[in-house]
Amino acid sequence: MSDQRSVVAAVDFSGDSLDGARWIARHFAPKRVVLVHALHFPEPPSFLRGLWGDDEQIEISARMGAEARLDEFAAALARETGVPFETRVRVGEPADQIARVAESVDADLVVVGPHAHGRGRWSHIGSTAERVIHEARVPTVLATGALGPPKRILAGLNDAAVEAGLLEELARLTKETGAEVTVMHVIDNTADMTYRAIVAPRSENRQTEIEVRAGKWLKVQLAATGPDLDANTLVELGDPAMEILAAAQRSGADFILLGTRGAGATARFFIGDVAGMVMRGARCPVWLLPSPS
């Protein structure tokens, strides 16, 4: 059975969303790409109902226009990349419709753009794009920044990301792209500071001890993944989001791979914390894996 991906790409006809669909088709050889456009008609106040005409006719006209544009774009991409494309136009809240299409076509990956403007489109990553990432049951890519061929991948690893299968996904990506891989773990210095305030450090070289342990843990995780994943390792101490962004910039990463939940008893949704900050600050695509729970 082919291990090629079936991809859903959200298209609002902004440059970001069109570039995201083109990028995934060009560089990841999916078996098919389903382009989804959601028509969203906000409910007007009662005194404005009917001002723009018959609601049903407006929807029919908007759907016909969207279908024509989407089919034209799909045909052009199919000729350019050789990848089969399908199109879906749906009416409703964009994040809900994208998630439903992804489930209905048994997608392996969802691609969304970061920005759009105007009614029925995404105004900011904090709205529709983040909702899609939050709700999707499969990996999701925020197609932002430079969308070139993937040559360097930076992956952020913690216990929750291991559980989510990040290293297996990374091995698959390496096979698909041939990219150089760096796996990093950021030791959140707030945890060490908290424990230092309660218990005196056992060693004067506490920071060195922590970094050594983290480095060994990374190597154990990589070894457990098997020979298909050959990766460099990196350990940093500091704010996780800032360290990931800094490492991505230093290394010239072509995309960043993260899990969507933090680790530990006090974990918050990674989207609202580290991953959210990385998505907003990244200059390259961010590939996010959902929590298995």
Give DSSP secondary structure letters for 27-57. HS--SEEEEEEEE--PPPPGGGTTTTS-HHH
On the 0-12 / 13-18 / 19+ scale of CB atoms within 10 A, 271 is buried
Strand order, beta sheet including 85-91: 85-91, 32-39, 6-10, 109-112, 140-142, 286-289, 255-259, 152-156, 180-188, 232-238
DSSP string, 90-156: EES-HHHHHHHHHHHTT-SEEEE-S---STTS---IIIIIHHHHHH-SS-EEE--S------EEEEE
On the 0-12 / 13-18 / 19+ scale of CB atoms within 10 A, 64 is exposed
- pLDDT per residue rounded down to tens, the chain (293 residues): 347 899 999 999 988 899 999 999 999 989 999 999 999 876 666 666 666 556 778 889 999 999 999 999 999 999 999 999 999 999 998 999 999 999 999 999 999 987 644 444 333 454 677 788 777 788 999 998 889 899 999 999 998 889 889 999 999 999 889 999 999 999 887 665 555 555 555 555 656 788 888 999 999 999 998 887 889 999 998 899 999 999 999 999 999 999 875 444 333 333 447 888 898 889 999 999 887 66
CB atoms under 10 Å from CB of 225, counted, come to: 17
In CATH, 6-142 is 3.40.50.620: yes
Distance CA 289, CA 293 (A): 12
- Residue given tokens 């969303």 in the structure block: 17
Intervals of CATH 3.40.50.620 along the chain:
6-142, 152-289
On the 0-12 / 13-18 / 19+ scale of CB atoms within 10 A, 118 is exposed
Distance CA 158, CA 186 (A): 8
CB 186 within 8 A of CB 238: yes
In CATH, 152-289 is 3.40.50.620: yes
**Token duo for residue 289:** 């894996």
User: What is the pairing mode between strands 152-156 and 255-259?
Assistant: parallel
Say if pTM beats, i.e. exceeds, 0.85: no
